[in-house]
Amino acid sequence: METPVDALIKDEHESPRWKKSTVVFVLGGPGSGKGTQCANLVKHFSYTHFSAGDLLRAEIKSGSQFGAMIQSTIVEGRIVPSEITVKLLCKAMEESGNDKFLIDGFPRNEENRIVFENVAKIEPAFVLFFDCPEEELERRIMSRNQGREDDNIETINKRFKVFVESTLPIISYYESKGKLRKINAAKPSEEVFEAVKVLFAS
């Protein structure tokens, strides 16, 4: 079934803006501070910040036919195909009018990475990895009061296990290509951003 974003991907007459963009993938375990640091980068360096999960939720909320298909996939307990997530990212980049993007929490696994490269046909400038011990991540998540149902010890441990199994191979891949920028995220937020700023100011 052709989706509302397929025409954008298939356009042969004009090269989409995102193909000339600077893309930075932002990875880190749950509670590592990705969202906070991305907000800082948007403010200081004029990047546009996208979260793959937020884009999927927004598409569902829009009530579109495409959103309904995504919702039914989630309700049935299936994983949303990487191609759908990537197409939403490409659509969001094209519509943003910017040419510098932070993509938060993506790619989550090897399939995400391969599909992004094949569909968007660009590689990230680098991958920003917020490295933080599991004990510190657990402490942070348990102390924050965001009302999230998945903020309990058992679920946190499961989320961290999934992160290790799925995302660490991605981190190793980009490290082998010389594209990994690792930040010690166990430090206070202000210190973390000082280290991050050096990467983006250069």
For the chain, the C-alpha Rg in angstroms (whole number) is: 17
**Binding-site annotation: residue ranges for CMP:** 112
Cα 51 off chain centre by = 5
Closest CA to 29 of 124, 165, 145: 165
CA distance 157 to 137: 10
**Binding-site annotation: residue ranges for ATP:** 31-36, 144, 187
- What is the phi-psi region of residue 188: left when phi exceeds 0, alpha when psi lies from -120 to 50, beta otherwise? beta
Contact assessment for residue 124 and residue 70, using Cβ atoms and an 8 Å cutoff? no
Q: What is the DSSP letter of 77?
A: T
CA distance 157 to 183: 22
**Binding-site annotation: residue ranges for a ribonucleoside 5'-phosphate:** 57, 78-80, 105-108, 148, 159
Contact assessment for residue 196 and residue 37, using Cβ atoms and an 8 Å cutoff? yes
Coil, strand, or helix at residue 165?
A: helix
Those residues with Cβ within 8 angstroms of residue 68's Cβ, 6 or more apart along the chain or in another chain = 60
**Binding-site annotation: residue ranges:** 31-36, 57, 78-80, 105-108, 112, 144, 148, 159, 187
Q: Which two tokens stand for residue 112?
A: 């995400």
